[in-house]
């Protein structure tokens, strides 16, 4: 059985160095220097553990919900763009150059959304849009607008006939997904809640070695080190996945999603051999 990679390991190791150093120092004071300790320390640590556990569970459930909702939105985008490409190929009577240009729009949208969620990049940062002269600041919105303009042109030219309603649903879904992702990016867990949890983690890390050292002596650094590893690890994971659009190892693989969508769209709209019957129908239209 392979153990998955622990992407938070470098940051976790840094925090553990401080926690272990502190635990060793406290153990030395309690065991060797015979410092007086609070006899009710075990009970206090147990009560704090129960409260802290509740806070951590709530925080990590909230963070995972954000991560999973973001994943579902990108799954929706994948399905919508695939269906969009196939329906355009099946319903629109136009030439290969027109299909290739529309393929550029559909393939560019996920890249635009990826860059927008990470750094609000301009349209010119999107692959195949480097030469666009627009100053429109919302790259996904700009490309979605071009998609709607193309559908309008096809409709006015009589290339869609009764098929506009078949494609409009997928065109509207582009900005629906974009808006959902922006909501996740722009609405973090309330700062007061995060601050309260981190204060609780620090207080627990400061108190636990005193209680444990009094009971088990020099085994205290090992026991508290293991406990701190899980405690700090869960908090660091929650901090990472509550912002799922970044470049950390536990964030969503947006680059891979974009590449998969791009390959499908280009194959569906640009490959003449993909749907030979459709290609022949368009040639004879």
Position 258 in a domain: yes
Strand, helix or coil at 136? coil
Higher pLDDT, 283 or 131: 131
Position 207 in a domain: no
Position 101 in a domain: yes
pLDDT range class, residue 34, cuts 50, 70, 90: confident
What's the rounded mean pLDDT across residues 157-168?
Answer: 82
Please say if the pLDDT value at position 172 is more than 70.
yes
Please say if the pLDDT value at position 254 is more than 90.
yes
Position 166 in a domain: yes
Q: What is the pTM of this model?
A: 0.86
The burial class, CB within 10 Å (0-12 / 13-18 / 19+), for 228 is buried
pLDDT in tens, 39-65: 656 666 677 777 787 888 888 888 999
Higher pLDDT, 60 or 273: 60
Position 78 in a domain: yes
Cα-Cα end-to-end distance for the chain: 58
| Tally of domains within the chain | 1
Give the domain extent around 107: 73-189+251-284
Q: 79 vs 66, 84, 87, 120, 272, CA distance in Å? A: 20, 8, 12, 24, 22
Angle at Cα 261 formed by Cα 90 and Cα 269, nearest 5°?
30
Position 262 in a domain: yes
Please say if the pLDDT value at position 118 is more than 70.
yes
Give the separation between CA 163 and CA 151, rounded to whole angstroms. Answer: 10
Position 214 in a domain: no
pLDDT in tens, 82-112: 999 999 998 888 888 999 999 999 999 999 9
Position 63 in a domain: no
Asked if 26 and 225 count as a contact pair (C-beta separation under 8 A), the reply is: no
Q: What is the pLDDT of residue 104?
A: 96
């Amino acid at each position: 059985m392979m153990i998955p990679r622990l992407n938070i390991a470098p940051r976790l190791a840094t925090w553990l160095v401080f926690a272990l150093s502190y635990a060793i120092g406290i153990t030395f004071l309690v065991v060797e220097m015979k410092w007086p300790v609070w006899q009710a320390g075990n009970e206090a640590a147990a009560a704090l553990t129960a409260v802290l556990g509740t806070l951590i569970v709530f925080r990590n459930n909230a963070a995972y919900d954000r991560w999973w909702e973001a994943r579902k939105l990108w799954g929706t985008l994948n399905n919508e763009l695939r269906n969009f490409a196939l329906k355009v190929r099946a319903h629109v009577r136009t030439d290969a150059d027109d299909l290739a240009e529309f393929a550029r729009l559909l393939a560019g949208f996920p890249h635009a959304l990826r860059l927008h969620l990470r750094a609000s990049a301009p349209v010119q940062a999107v692959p195949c849009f480097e030469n666009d002269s627009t100053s429109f600041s919302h790259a996904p919105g700009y490309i979605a607008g071009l998609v709607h303009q193309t559908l309008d042109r096809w409709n006015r030219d009589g290339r869609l006939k009764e098929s506009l309603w078949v494609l409009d649903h997928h065109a509207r879904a582009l900005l629906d997904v974009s808006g959902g992702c922006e909501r996740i990016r722009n609405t973090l867990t309330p700062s007061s809640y995060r601050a309260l949890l981190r204060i609780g983690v620090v207080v627990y890390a400061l108190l636990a070695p005193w209680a444990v050292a009094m009971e088990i002596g020099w085994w205290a650094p090992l026991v508290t080190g293991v406990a701190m590893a899980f405690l700090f690890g869960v908090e660091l994971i929650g901090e990472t996945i509550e912002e799922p659009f970044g470049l950390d190892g536990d964030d969503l693989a947006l680059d891979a999603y974009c590449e998969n969508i791009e390959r499908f769209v280009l194959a569906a709209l640009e490959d003449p051999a993909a749907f030979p019957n459709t290609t022949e129908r368009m040639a004879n239209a």
